[in-house]
Structure formats: C-alpha cells, structure tokens
C-alpha cells in the first residue's frame, strides 16, 4: 500500500541526558498516530524519531555520572529510549542517533557547503547561554532569578542561571533570510500551525533576525567543524540536520527525493528552531524547506510545564503499567486540543478511562459480540430492510469518517477522535433504543434482531479501522473478535479513507469471544 503521495513525519530528536517522561511520550504517540493514519490510507509514509546526543548538557550529565558522554548516551538510549517505543506501541520506520556516522559525516558536508557558499563567517561573541535549552537566550526569555538564584539572570523556561559565554565562533548569516522567511509564511499559510504558533513566528521574524552562532570551542563533545578542528558544530545545527541525514541526504539521492520534504511535529518550546533557523539553513543550502511545522502545547502538571529538571516528570510506564498503552495514547490524544496546553491529572485520566473507554467503547464491543454469540450462535447475521434508525447510523459513520480524515489533514488528532466518537455514542444509543434483548424474545422479530446486531457489528468494524491508528492493540483484538480477520483480511490492510463505506463486514463470519478491551483498574 505505498502507491500514494509521500508523507514523511518526524518527532523532535530527544536529549537522552535523562529518562523519558510523558511529555516526550505525548509528541511521539501523536506523530505515530498521524503516521499510522497516513500509512493505512495508502500514503507513502515514513516516520522518524531519534535522539540528540551531542552538546554541553550531555557532557555534563555524563561527567556527573562519572562516564564518557558516549557511554552515557549508549546506556540511556538502549535502556530507556528504545524501550519507550515498545511501551507506547510506536511503529516508527527509523530511529536516528546523532552520534551515528551516517549523520556525523553528512552534517560536516552540509556545513561545509554553507561555508563554501559564503553563508558562514568567523566572529567574536559574548552572550548569555542556557545549557538546558542549549541556546543563547534572546532578551525576552531572560528573567531575574529568585530564591537560591537571587541576583542572577535565569532562563524563563528552566529557571536556572544563565552562563556568560565569550568565544570566537562561526556564524550563520541568518539575518539574510528574513525577507525570504516572511515570504514563505505568507505564501504557505500552513507552513507553521496552529495559527497562534504562526503568529508568534511571524512577529519574531518581523522584529529582525540576528546571525546565529553555529560553533563552540570551549568543549569537544560534538561534530568537528570540517575546516577548523578546534570547533564543534552547535548542537542545534547538528540536531536539525537529522531530518535530512536520516532519509539519505548526501548518500542516497533516490531515498531523499522520495521522502523529503518532511512535516515536523514539535513542542512549542522548540518552534523557532524549526520554523525559522531550519528553513533558513535549507534555503542557504538550496534544498526544499519542510512541508510544515506543527507546534503542540505543553503538558502541565500542577499548572506548570512538566519537566524532569523541575522534578514534576512522570514516567510513561507509570501510566501504561496501570492503564495500558492504548489508554495512554487515547487519553493524551483526545483530552488535549492538539496545539494547546493541557493539564495532566490522574483523576482526569481515570475518569476518562472509565467513561469513554471501559463504559463507552469497550462495553459497546463486548455486548455486541456477546449478543451475536447468544442470539445467532456466534455468526454475524445478515441485515434486513433498513429503517430510519439504521439509516441514521449509516450516515453518522460516513460523516464521522470524512470528518476524521479532514481533521487529520489539519493535524487535529483530538478533533478526529471526537468525530469518531460520535459513532460510539450513536451505537450505544441505537442499542438502547432498539432493545435487541426484547426483540430476541419474539420470533417474529428475528429479522429485525439480525439487522440491529449487524448494524452494531458493522459500526464496530468502522470503529476498529478508524481507531486503529490511536489504539492499535484493542482494535486488533476487536477485529479478531468480529471475525473480520478471516473474512475481510488484516486490519492494517483496510483503507482508512474508505472506512465510512457501509456494508463491509460479511454476514456469515464467526465472532470470537472478547475479553474486556479496557478492564477495570485498581485506582492508582
Ligand atoms: N533535542 C532537542 C530537540 C531537537 S529536534 C531537532 C530537545 N529535546 S528534548 O528532549 O528536550 O525534547 C523536547 C520535546 O519533548 C518538546 O519539543 C516536546 O515535543 C516534548 N516535551 C518535553 N516536555 C514536554 C511537556 N512538558 N509537554 C509537552 N511536550 C513536552 O528539545
């Protein structure tokens, strides 16, 4: 199923200086759900994630643990970052590490190409640097410290003191790209989404761009500047290039032409790197700019951005061990408007698990399969003539599928799930209204009973397909229980953009017992 248009989507590459938390997991499952949707629609899909392993932050974390930076990242990546993908059921196509030769060599080539094209020059620099952000901070993000940091300048994001750095650096002529960037945002209004992120980027660029320091000489944990081995390439320049090196930039022109340009999904904390610096770097190299950058909001815990450095970090396994990976994926992707901040709380998670997953979707699946077993010996009955009630379901399913696909095009996974959930609610209402248990008592209503149960089962068929990108595990179980695997093929092969077409499930197929999709959990 790869005949369709190219869809290449990336997560940020994470710093493995520390353990993953639910914020990293949030971005990753969002990108995975978008990738799974497009893959199932037949688009030529490629999902990339990975780790950003150079820089001062990594060097210090390694030193604090008494090992070399390479030993530190190898340990964290194998013990924690690869397993995160298993924990969250992520089907990425590739995982890039910036310490891999396939990346390091191409980064040097890219930077050399910019140097040769005259976009890089040597200069003196003195500015306040935040190691947490790995960034020289703009005025607007420097604030006065409080408590132990009274009297010091601190980073507005990390609340940690900034360091005054004075170095000879190489600079990238970012200031030359101001007009071309503004033109890009104008001609491609969807280049930065959502609207609020776009506005922020446009006003930032309008206020004027300074050239960017792109090398460091005070430490050596990085990729060497090819024409001056006393410098390493600035970790953000190194990191952004992963999106190109991972798909064959400089080594595999065919693969690069097939995949590039990408869509980038990032947290709003790193929007400017992706929507300003990265397209300017690509323009300077004569390459296509990304297809778009989508910035999502922050997960807040107790009203503040959740972060490991502020000790509010929650490990994804704390959630998946209790509720499972599907519930993790469903919760974060449905409860938070994609693009806005959202508060995480255990109460909210438990309540939604119970109401929407266990009582809503899970119960609909269990009772439909159980009634087919009980009243039709486990064989999906044929549908008789449709009534208005049935026709209303057909229309809700068709409309929901169309609306969900349109929402996914806008990257609004939350809106897609809300559209799909109209099917769950409608089918639960339909069963209550039609009372199949009452119809079963009257032999004269046998055909009607069959129609009602076929309608519920066929609605579940559509739900399994539409929800599989968000909840791959439970929808796969449901698929088998509906007897669909044997009669209409694998769930992954069902074209998602046709999911709303009515009448795909075959009467005569045998259902199988279904254990609860979302079992009762002991309160965390
Ligand atoms: N290494 C850089 C990214 C380089 S991309 C070329 C980096 N890494 S990070 O480990 O700090 O990850 C940042 C990303 O993790 C955010 O952009 C966001 O996607 C995710 N999140 C980290 N904390 C988060 C929240 N509290 N809430 C939501 N997302 C969060 O920056």
Domains within the chain, CATH numbers bracketed: 346-498 (1.10.730.10)
Nearest alpha carbon to residue 23 among 319, 413, 252, 294: 319
* Structural contact between residues 44 and 7, judged by C-beta atoms closer than 8 angstroms: yes
Per-residue pLDDT for 238 more than 60? yes
Q: What is the pLDDT, as a whole number, of residue 307?
A: 75
The whole-number pLDDT of residue 310 equals 62
Nearby residues of 487 by Cβ (< 8 Å), 6 or more positions away: 505, 506, 508, 509
Question: To test ligand 1's pocket by mutation, which of 17, 20, 26, 311 has the most ligand atoms within 8 angstroms of CB?
Answer: 26
Confidence label for 73 from pLDDT (cuts 50, 70 and 90): very high
Nearest CA to ligand 1 atom 6: 240
Ligand 1 pocket by Cβ (under 6 Å): 12-15, 23-24, 26-27, 52, 239-240, 266-267, 269-270, 298-299, 305-307
Report the chain's mean pLDDT, rounded to a whole number.
96
pLDDT over 80 (residue 144): yes
Q: Is 70 exceeded by the pLDDT of residue 123?
A: yes
**Strands 299-301, 212-213: parallel, antiparallel or unpaired by DSSP?**
unpaired
Task: Answer yes or no: is pLDDT of 1 > 50.
Answer: no
State residue 166's pLDDT score.
85
Q: What is the mean pLDDT of the segment spanning 84-94? A: 98
> Average pLDDT of 244-252?
97
252-273 pLDDT tens trace: 999 999 999 999 999 999 999 9
Distance from C-alpha of 423 to C-alpha of 361, rounded to nearest angstrom: 10
**pLDDT at residue 511, rounded to an integer:** 98
Atom 29 of ligand 1, nearest CA residue: 23
What does the pLDDT read at residue 523? 60
CA torsion 377→379→380→381, rounded to 10°?
-70
Q: Is the pLDDT of residue 522 over 90?
A: no
pTM as predicted = 0.96
The encoded tokens of residue 204 equal 């930032």
- Give me the percent of the chain exceeding a pLDDT of 70: 98
| Ligand 1 atom nearest to 300, measured from its CA | 26
Q: What is the pLDDT of residues 177-187, one digit of tens each?
A: 999 999 999 99
Instruction: Tell which one of 14, 95, 222, 268 to mutate to probe ligand 1, the residue whose CB is within 8 A of the most ligand atoms.
Output: 14
Tens digit of each residue's pLDDT (9 = 90 or more) over 486-513: 999 999 999 999 999 999 999 999 999 9
Asked if pLDDT for residue 380 goes beyond 50, the answer is yes
Q: What's the pLDDT score for residue 316?
A: 97
Chain centroid, CA 390 distance in Å: 36
- Tokens linked to 281: 């770097």
So what's the pLDDT on residue 305? Answer: 85
pLDDT at 252: 97
8 A C-beta contact, residue 504 and residue 45: no
């Amino acid at each position: 199923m790869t005949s369709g248009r190219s869809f290449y989507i990336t997560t940020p590459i994470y710093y493995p200086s520390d353990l993953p938390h639910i914020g990293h997991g949030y971005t990753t499952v969002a990108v995975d759900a978008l990738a799974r949707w497009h893959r199932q629609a037949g688009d030529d899909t490629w999902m990339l994630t990975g780790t950003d392993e150079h820089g001062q932050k990594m060097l210090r974390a390694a030193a604090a643990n008494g090992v070399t930076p390479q030993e530190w990242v190898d340990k964290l990546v194998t013990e924690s970052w690869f397993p995160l993908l298993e924990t969250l059921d992520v089907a990425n196509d590739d995982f890039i590490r910036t310490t891999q030769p396939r990346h390091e060599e191409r980064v040097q080539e890219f930077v050399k190409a910019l140097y040769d094209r005259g976009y890089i020059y040597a200069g003196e620099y003195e500015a306040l640097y935040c190691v947490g952000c790995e960034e020289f901070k703009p005025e607007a993000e420097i604030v006065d410290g409080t408590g132990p940091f009274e009297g010091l300048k601190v980073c507005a994001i990390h609340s940690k003191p900034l360091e005054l750095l004075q170095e000879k650096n190489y600079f990238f002529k970012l200031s030359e790209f101001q007009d071309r960037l503004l033109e890009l945002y104008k001609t491609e209004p969807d280049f930065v989404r959502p609207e609020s992120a776009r506005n922020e980027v446009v006003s930032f660029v309008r206020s004027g761009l300074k050239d960017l320091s792109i090398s460091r000489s005070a430490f050596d944990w990085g990729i060497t500047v090819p024409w001056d081995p006393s410098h390493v390439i600035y970790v953000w320049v190194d990191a952004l290039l992963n999106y190109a090196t991972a798909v064959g930039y400089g080594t595999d022109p065919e693969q690069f032409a097939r995949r590039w340009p990408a869509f980038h999904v990032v947290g709003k904390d790193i929007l400017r790197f992706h929507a300003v610096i990265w397209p300017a770097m690509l323009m300077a190299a004569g390459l296509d700019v990304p297809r778009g950058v989508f910035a999502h909001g922050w997960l807040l815990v107790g009203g503040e951005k959740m972060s490991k450095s502020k000790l509010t970090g929650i490990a994804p396994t704390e959630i998946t061990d209790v509720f499972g990976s599907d519930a993790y994926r469903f919760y974060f992707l449905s409860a938070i408007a994609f693009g806005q901040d959202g508060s995480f709380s255990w109460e909210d998670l438990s309540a939604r698990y119970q109401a929407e997953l266990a009582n809503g979707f899970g119960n609909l699946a269990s009772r439909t399969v159980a009634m087919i077993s009980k009243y039709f010996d486990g064989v999906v009955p044929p549908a008789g003539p449709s009534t208005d009630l049935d026709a209303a379901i057909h229309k809700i399913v068709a409309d929901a599928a169309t609306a969900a696909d349109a929402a996914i095009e806008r990257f609004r996974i939350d809106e897609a799930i809300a559209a799909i959930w109209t099917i769950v609610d409608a089918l639960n209402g339909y069963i209550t209204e039609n009372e199949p248990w009452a119809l079963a008592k009257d032999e004269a209503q046998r055909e009607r009973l069959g129609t009602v149960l076929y309608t519920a089962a066929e609605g579940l068929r559509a739900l399994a397909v539409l929800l599989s990108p968000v909840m791959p595990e439970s929808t796969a179980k449901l698929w088998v229980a509906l007897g669909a695997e044997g009669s209409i093929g694998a769930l992954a092969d069902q074209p998602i953009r046709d999911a709303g077409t009515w009448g795909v499930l075959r009467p005569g197929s045998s259902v199988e017992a279904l254990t609860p999709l979302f079992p009762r959990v002991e309160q965390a």
